[in-house]
């Protein structure tokens, strides 16, 4: 009976070999999993390094443009001038609008820098800032209600007059943000721009019903150059 019991418990040599093989396979699987995690980690590090290099190159290029710094000056037009100038710089650079925010913050100084620190503290570290968010907060801070109403009135009464199409379009864009109730989408913006063109140009463009503001500007410029 003892021998039968021993025989019953004994593991055949073939099974022993299979068990060792299973252990080896288990170790190999563990090694493979470790290597996958290791590669993922290095991939993440590589991405972070690439992003850091991109950010450094972007900042160097921005500094070479010598952008105007903003210090919360008492002149109310200084804020408008700074906003307009900095967007012109950004238009020449290959970067996202979120990177626009980081670059703009870099050239805030004095009270303006303190203002930015305070509003980012209020929004919290998880808030993802877009350029539209930044401009909205910036204008709330540096464009008092009386100035905003004045700019809105300027937009409501804006006409092309003696301006070139390019000059009129630039003024239109600069003032339109103070009267969003008049140009809430691209089609409204296009129609409003057409309405205030000079008589001869307006008649040439208005019948096309072009869907976007930029399409109207391009078509009007083509007629202007003829």
Q: Please, which contacts does 180-183 make with residues 24 or more away whose CB atoms are closer than 8 Å?
A: 182/155, 182/156
pLDDT of the residue at 43: 47
Could you tell me the residue ranges of all domains in the chain? 64-143, 148-224
pLDDT of the residue at 45: 52
pLDDT of the residue at 200: 87
pLDDT of the residue at 30: 47
pLDDT of the residue at 16: 46
pLDDT of the residue at 33: 52
pLDDT of the residue at 79: 85
pLDDT of the residue at 182: 93
Q: Measured between alpha carbons, how far is 70 from 176 in angstroms, rounded to an integer?
A: 23
Q: Measured between alpha carbons, how far is 139 from 178 in angstroms, rounded to an integer?
A: 10
Q: Measured between alpha carbons, how far is 205 from 38 in angstroms, rounded to an integer?
A: 61
What average pLDDT values come out for the chain (226 residues) when binned by 10 residues?
Answer: 40 47 48 52 56 75 82 74 86 83 89 92 88 89 85 94 93 89 93 92 88 93 86
pLDDT of the residue at 187: 93
Report how far apart the first and last C-alpha atoms of the chain are (Å, whole number): 113
pLDDT of the residue at 23: 47
pLDDT of the residue at 40: 55
């Amino acid at each position: 009976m003892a021998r039968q019991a021993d025989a019953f418990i004994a593991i055949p040599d073939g099974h022993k070999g299979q068990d060792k093989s299973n252990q080896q396979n288990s170790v190999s699987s563990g090694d493979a999993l470790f290597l996958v995690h290791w590669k993922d980690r290095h991939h993440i590090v590589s991405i972070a390094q690439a992003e850091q290099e991109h950010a450094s190159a972007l900042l160097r290029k921005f500094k070479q443009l010598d952008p105007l710094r903003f210090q919360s000056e008492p002149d109310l037009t200084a804020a408008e001038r700074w906003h307009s100038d900095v967007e012109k710089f950004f238009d020449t650079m290959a970067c996202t609008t979120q990177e626009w925010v980081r670059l703009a913050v870099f050239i805030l100084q004095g009270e303006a820098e303190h203002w930015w620190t305070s509003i980012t503290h209020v929004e919290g570290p998880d808030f993802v800032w877009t350029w539209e968010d930044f401009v909205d907060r910036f204008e709330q801070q540096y464009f008092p209600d009386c100035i905003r109403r004045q700019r809105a009135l300027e937009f409501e009464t804006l006409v092309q007059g003696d301006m070139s199409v390019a000059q009129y379009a630039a003024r239109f864009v600069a003032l339109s943000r103070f009267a969003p109730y008049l140009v809430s989408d691209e089609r409204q913006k296009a129609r409003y721009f057409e309405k205030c063109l000079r008589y001869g140009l307006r008649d040439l463009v208005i019948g096309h019903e072009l869907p976007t503001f930029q399409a109207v500007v391009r078509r009007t410029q083509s007629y202007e150059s003829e």
